[in-house]
Amino acid sequence: MPSPQAQALTRHYQQQVLNVAALIARRLRITAMRADTADIDSWWERISPQIQQEILTGQSALARLARGYLQQHALLEGVALAPVVIEPDPEQIATALRVSGPVAFKTQMAISGSEVQATRVMASQLQGSATRLVLEGDRQTTMRTFAERGEVEGWRRVAGRGSPCPFCLMLIGRGAVYSKESARFQSHDRCSCKPELLYRRESEPPEVRRLQEQWYTATAGHSGQAAIEAWRTFVNAQAAPQG
């Protein structure tokens, strides 16, 4: 596992990027709550360029921040590294925002018929989508560096603040990934996990081994989707208040 100094750097850096993403996401939620529900398409056409630019700026900023973090993290592990910084994809950002914006509003309107409820759903989905899109600056830079730099041996998923969801815990429990073909980091809206690079093959840390043992116990006799459901039930039961 990375040295204590490298792990401390990752935790500090992770808090930084999460704070940036949360700030942008909150602003987007506030904007959505003020939507002109009488003509949602015209409202979106007016405000979407500004929203897209804010996401682009945030994602670019985190990509550049990731470069410095990755260089420092590698040096703490005795490796000189030249990170591969990604460029945001404006079309991908525009599509994701539209789906979680006016499309989400219209979908909820068809279900509930309530403009108030539809606005709340849209605001929530935009907030979650914005968080994920901004964090892609860090995540994609890290994963592109893993894929294209021979100095990097593998990567491990690291949980962020709060309690990870069953999906994230399942992926954390799979441990380190050493295949260059597995250079994809799975995330969801509001996910605070990040990939941490490894420069040598190493044993799994205690928390990962513990998750692996819990997975085998919780999913015994199950496979595929049934195993995932059994795992979700187990994690939710552990998180439920006792008494």
> Where do the structural domains in the chain lie, given as residue ranges?
4-149
pLDDT tens-digit profile, the chain (243 residues): 778 899 999 999 999 999 999 999 999 999 999 999 999 999 999 999 999 999 999 999 999 999 999 999 999 999 999 999 999 999 999 999 999 999 999 999 999 999 999 999 999 999 999 999 999 999 999 999 999 999 999 999 999 877 889 999 999 999 999 998 876 898 988 899 999 999 999 889 999 999 999 999 999 989 999 999 999 999 998 876 655
Nearest to 152 by CA among 187, 177, 174: 177
What is the structure's pLDDT at 148?
Answer: 95
What is the structure's pLDDT at 242?
Answer: 53
What is the structure's pLDDT at 183?
Answer: 66
pTM of the model: 0.92
